[in-house]
Structure 1
């Protein structure tokens, strides 16, 4: 019940044109109604129009590229990503997405050059992480590992790089090596995300007091992202610590700061602790964001709360 919700996604598991005829794309119209479109129609008629409309607006173009990648349209994103690289004032964003697009299209040398050229001019944890992925795909394991560690020194809180670093440590040395790796990253200036993974381990070993101490320290001293807030509330909920979610987040919850998923986790905690009015208030905050893809689940939570005596 607690954790992550996903919005728009493709119902097809294929990422190749050969299977276009068998899949559907799930989307929402301007009224918030869900519609299903055949993949081949989406690729040939809808997607080109989306890119055309966004061609001169960097934010819209970036969003369209990410959406297309998530739906498995790979070759179609190369030209738009190259266009974004030319017009985007956010060099980090455009370099990252172009590198990812090229890597997914197996243009590894071009991806390496794109990401490497950016890092020659400016440090970036996310760009360095994606360069490490390119090296991994090229079979250059040592360069991949050193580049990944460099990425986490630059930005120790990035999800992608930290989770990859943790997975490598766990695979090579088990749980103790994994925790050692997290403690290593937790020492980096400004690091908070690795501490949340350490806190998760405490929760899973029934040491809620140590986990809460970490959460309180992190929340009081760091700019925690929405994903971090979601992780804290989700981990507490999944391990049965409902009152702790209430105590940590109810007094300070702001949907614009803490995010939709943390809000849904808090609503679920209100349901399980029979805090009807607090839960309804947070539902109203969530509905005010006009997220049509989440309206149904928010309405379901409202119905549960309204039915309480």
Structure 2
């Protein structure tokens, strides 16, 4: 097939997307496809109209490749594309909208409140410790954990570095102590549970994409009932949101509370495909090599 790989763009996750895209391009060439690497720009519709691909492999992360904008454009162009469609992408990138779909479906998520960023300099939106995060960013971009011991001040100082300086609105959630878990779903099947153990701090953007800053334990060393529940929730969320191809669900697990301590944080509809990414790692654990993973995602779209 003639495949255009969309990568790069202008989001905070541009460099990660370029790394994902380069890996996908190489795999597609090994698989014998006619491949065009497209660094996402404002002229992307014109470029795709010139290439006339059979399928677009969406390797973008963050906006506008993960929030429905690119999906809507491709729908208008009448081009098939990988991963989730327009409506799913709009909902899943928005953490508040995601809760509105998944919590009524019986999926446990942290209770949260959306606040104007300027308000956090007047009062804490929740009792400490709590988490502040952008409503529609991925890869732990702009996440801050506010504790009694943090150096942000009480209330948070206006000049303290953090997401309140980058985003107009933030989601505040109670901080859940415990362990970081993630589950990939491929072709409507959960693959495995991975535990993410940062060697310092917490699992932020740098920890995700800097080699040596996070240990991936796949499969996670957790009780069988917790692993089974995490995979069941990931599949349920994948289906409830209408995800296609591949998704990845992230969890916090407070083991002192057993099953009641397992919380879904978010669902990623455009998970990374870099050498450090979790989906290829879980696929490999299940006997699916990188090229086969790329092929399966492409075939689902085609």
When normalised by structure 1's length, the TM-score is 0.29
Greater C-alpha radius of gyration: 1
Larger fraction in helix: 1
Q: By percentage of residues, which structure has more strand?
A: 2
For normalisation by structure 2, the TM-score amounts to 0.29
